[in-house]
């Protein structure tokens, strides 16, 4: 009887076999995925490789990748994380720069007839062409954007600088007209301000993206030079932005101390501090349900460290900061990478701000606010803030 040698495999033999399998199946990239991400990373790459090499039907590779990444983000269960396809990512980068090529309008899809114009940039080409807030764009270059086609409207309006777009516009009087607008570089003003009666400086902050800190500080200094004895900051419907824009704002406003804290995904804690120079006037802050992120911290820290009066509606209770990573396909992946707190360590997650005066706008006033046409004398939240300041 012939003796048969029994082969015994160590864990190193098995590891080598797996590595060879990774190289054979999906090449060096598969090896990298296995080494860095384990079997899950290899599974993702291998699945896509199988689709590319074996699927018999027609498909859009970009759509497959978009759906895969979107699915991963959705599975995180985090409402604040997101995936942006290449076109959306490019548009988002422009938005965060407070500068873009377009016609200078803000629109929404609240009207079935087309895109409702919420506001018109004072220095943009739409304003020069006669477009007004409250009007509705119903067609672009002869193509209707009513109904479900509204989702495509913004993309149709975008284009290269210097090119023209023909818009069909439904006026507030119910008449329709055609307007030709030349696309141009548009700079969005993140901050606006005015001196109200009684010596109160009103500062509206649209976002905390590029240039907002300089704009806010310039506005505040100008109002104080004009004799403002109190300040109202309006961060209603402010979706937040960059912490490096928030920091100089709070530093300028608050006395020496910690102005906010962050804890990263690794547990690393970091404190951001203010120097002793500060503004010593009464302050109120206007907020609503669409006050997010850095805007919440701004209002909460002014309340906590400067005794500011917070007026309006319960805020979003976000409390997480996201970092957006550029992807090889031209898209962007935004994921929550840290939690932030007020200077005294209070988290806003799930709770939002503690309001000093809780008050909502009625439906008509809210619509006017969204369109940028709400008269300050009719703005009950602003008037409540002025009352709280003794004005």
CATH number at residue 371: 3.90.226.10
Residue 74 lies in a domain: no
Tokens of 129: 């062409």
Look up the pTM and report it.
0.77
* Helix 11-54 with 61-75: angle, nearest 10 deg: 130
Same domain for 272 and 171, yes or no, is no
Q: Is the dihedral of CA 16, 17, 18, 23 positive or negative?
A: positive
Question: What is each CA distance from 76 to 42, 312, 324, 326, 379, in whole angstroms?
Answer: 19, 32, 16, 19, 40
In three-state secondary structure terms, 133 is coil
Quote the pLDDT of residue 52: 86
Residue 200 lies in a domain: yes
| Domains of the chain: total | 3
Same domain for 197 and 305, yes or no, is yes
Residue 231 lies in a domain: yes
Residue 197 lies in a domain: yes
Same domain for 301 and 215, yes or no, is yes
Within the chain, residue ranges assigned H as helices are 11-54, 61-75, 86-96, 125-128, 150-157, 212-225, 243-253, 293-306, 363-371, 380-388
CA 79-83-86 angle, to 5 degrees, is 155
Same domain for 246 and 158, yes or no, is no
Quote the pLDDT of residue 92: 87
* Full domain range(s) for residue 110: 99-187
Of 125, 156, 187, which marks where a domain is finished?
Answer: 187
Same domain for 117 and 151, yes or no, is yes
What is the distance between the alpha carbons of residues 228 and 198, in angstroms, rounded to a whole number? 8
pLDDT per residue as tens digits for the range 342-377: 899 998 888 899 999 999 999 999 888 887 778 999
CB 284 within 8 Å of CB 297:
no
CATH code assigned at 154 = 2.30.42.10
Of 158, 187, 216, which marks where a domain is finished?
Answer: 187
For residue 112, give the nearest of 89, 145, 82, 143 by alpha carbon: 145
Residue 2 lies in a domain: no
Tokens of 298: 């701004």
Quote the pLDDT of residue 19: 47
Of 187, 222, 242, which marks where a domain is finished?
Answer: 187
Question: What is each CA distance from 351 to 15, 77, 78, 266, 314, in whole angstroms?
Answer: 49, 18, 16, 24, 8
Residues of the chain short of pLDDT 70, as ranges, are 1-38, 391
Same domain for 267 and 323, yes or no, is yes
Residue 69 lies in a domain: no
CB 339 within 8 Å of CB 263:
yes
What is the distance between the alpha carbons of residues 156 and 4, in angstroms, rounded to a whole number? 74
Tokens of 46: 């291998």
Tokens of 122: 């004072």
Same domain for 135 and 259, yes or no, is no
Q: Is the dihedral of CA 234, 353, 109, 62 positive or negative?
A: positive
Same domain for 348 and 227, yes or no, is yes
Q: Cβ contacts of residue 178 below 8 Å, gap of 6+? A: 166, 167, 168, 169
pLDDT per residue as tens digits for the range 70-88: 999 999 999 899 999 998 8
Quote the pLDDT of residue 21: 53
DSSP 299-358: HHHHHHHH-PEEEES------EEEEEEE-TTS-EEEEEEEEEEETT--B-TTT----SEE
Quote the pLDDT of residue 38: 67
């Amino acid at each position: 009887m012939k003796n048969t040698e029994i082969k015994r495999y160590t864990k190193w033999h098995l590891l080598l076999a797996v590595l060879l399998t990774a190289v054979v199946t999906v090449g060096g990239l598969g090896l990298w995925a296995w080494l860095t991400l384990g079997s899950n990373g290899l599974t993702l790459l291998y699945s896509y490789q199988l689709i590319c090499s074996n699927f018999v039907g027609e498909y859009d590779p970009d759509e497959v990748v978009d759906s895969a990444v979107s699915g991963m983000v959705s599975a995180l269960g985090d409402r604040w994380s997101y995936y942006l396809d290449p076109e959306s990512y490019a548009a988002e980068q422009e938005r965060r720069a407070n500068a873009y090529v377009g016609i200078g309008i803000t629109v929404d899809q609240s009207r079935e007839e087309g895109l409702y114009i919420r506001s018109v940039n004072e220095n943009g080409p739409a304003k020069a062409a006669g477009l007004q807030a409250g009007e509705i764009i119903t067609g672009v270059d002869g193509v209707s954007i009513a109904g479900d086609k509204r989702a495509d409207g913004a993309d149709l309006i975008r284009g290269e600088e210097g090119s023209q777009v023909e818009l069909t516009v439904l006026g507030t009087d119910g008449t329709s007209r055609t307007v030709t607008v030349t696309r141009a570089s548009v700079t969005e003003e993140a901050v606006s301000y005015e001196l109200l009666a009684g010596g109160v400086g009103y500062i509206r902050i649209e976002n905390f993206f590029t240039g907002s800190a300089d704009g806010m500080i310039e506005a505040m200094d100008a109002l104080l030079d004009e004799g403002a004895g109190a300040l109202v900051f309006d961060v209603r419907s402010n979706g937040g932005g960059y912490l490096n824009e928030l920091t100089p704002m709070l530093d300028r406003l608050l006395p020496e101390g910690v102005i906010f804290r962050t804890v990263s995904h690794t547990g690393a804690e970091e404190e951001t501090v203010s120097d002793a120079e500060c503004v010593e006037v009464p302050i109120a802050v206007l907020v609503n349900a669409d006050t997010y992120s850095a805007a919440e911290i701004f209002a909460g820290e002014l309340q906590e460290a400067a005794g500011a009066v917070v007026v309006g509606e319960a805020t979003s209770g976000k409390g997480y900061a996201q970092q957006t990573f550029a992807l090889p396909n031209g898209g962007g992946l935004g994921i929550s990478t840290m939690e932030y707190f007020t200077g005294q360590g209070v988290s806003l997650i799930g709770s939002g701000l503690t309001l000093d005066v809780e008050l909502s706008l009625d439906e008509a006033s809210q619509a006017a606010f969204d369109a940028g046409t709400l008269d300050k004398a009719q703005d009950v939240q602003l008037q409540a803030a002025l009352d709280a300041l003794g004005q």
